[in-house]
Structures are given as structure tokens and as C-alpha cells.
């Protein structure tokens, strides 16, 4: 992977994005499948999931994303760049098309 782009300089500046290969044979596709299985398993099989414990959609999505991220982190397949995380002036909360 290429070096990470610099962080934006202020609160409202756009974040430069890293190009990601999303083809079926890419590393992203493999990680996406693993995360999807973890999220689906939590959703369908966990006593804390929405099939066993009714919850608003937003809470179900948050739980599934949390489960997927935890699974990938625990397997060592993704890392948290704490330095970058704490150095950023703000964070975008959605992706642009």
C-alpha cells in the first residue's frame, strides 16, 4: 500500500483518500467477507443480536460493525493507527460517493 496521505489541516478540510482495490480477488474483498460473516453471525446467532434482542436499526448496525471490527482486530488483519487517529483535527463520518 502507498504511504498514507497527510491529515487535513483544519476541521472542515477534505480528507485525502487512499485508492482501494475492491475487485473480487483483492485483500479488501477477503477482509470484507470475513467481517461480513462476523457481523452476520452476531446478528443471527448472538443473544445480544437483533434477532434475539429487538433493537432499533441503528443499534443493530452499530453492533454488527462493532463485532466485525473486533473480529478483524483480534485476528490481526487490521491495525489502528493511534498516532494518526489522535493527530486528526476532525473525522469524516460518511464516505463521498
**DSSP label at 21?**
-
d(CA 97, CA 95): 6
**How do the domains of the chain map onto residue ranges?**
33-79
Percent of the chain with pLDDT over 90: 74
Band (pLDDT 50/70/90 cuts) for residue 23 is very high
- Buried b / exposed e over 13-37, threshold 16 CB at 10 Å, is eeeeeeeeeeeeeeeeeeeeeebee
Per-residue pLDDT of 29-72, as tens digits, reads 999 999 999 999 999 999 999 999 999 999 999 999 999 999 99
- Between 32-36, 52-56, 74-78, 90-94, the lowest mean confidence (pLDDT) is in 90-94
Per-residue pLDDT of 9-20, as tens digits, reads 888 888 888 999
Chain mean position to CA 13: 22
**DSSP label at 12?**
T
Which single residue is written with the C-alpha cell 489502528? 80
pTM comes to: 0.85
The predicted pLDDT at position 12 comes to 85
d(CA 95, CA 29): 18
Residue 2 has pLDDT above 70, yes or no: no
Widest CA span of the chain, in angstroms? 45
Secondary structure (H, E, C), 53-70? CCCCHHHHHHHHHHHHHH
Amino acid at each position: 500500500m502507498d504511504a498514507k496521505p497527510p491529515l487535513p489541516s483544519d476541521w472542515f478540510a477534505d480528507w485525502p483518500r487512499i485508492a482501494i482495490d475492491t475487485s473480487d480477488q483483492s485483500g479488501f474483498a477477503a477482509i470484507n467477507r470475513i467481517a461480513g460473516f462476523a457481523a452476520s453471525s452476531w446478528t443471527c446467532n448472538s443473544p445480544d443480536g437483533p434477532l434475539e434482542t429487538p433493537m432499533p436499526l441503528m443499534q443493530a448496525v452499530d453492533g454488527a460493525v462493532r463485532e466485525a471490527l473486533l473480529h478483524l482486530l483480534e485476528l490481526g488483519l487490521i491495525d489502528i493507527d493511534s498516532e494518526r487517529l489522535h493527530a486528526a483535527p476532525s473525522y469524516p463520518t460518511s464516505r463521498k460517493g
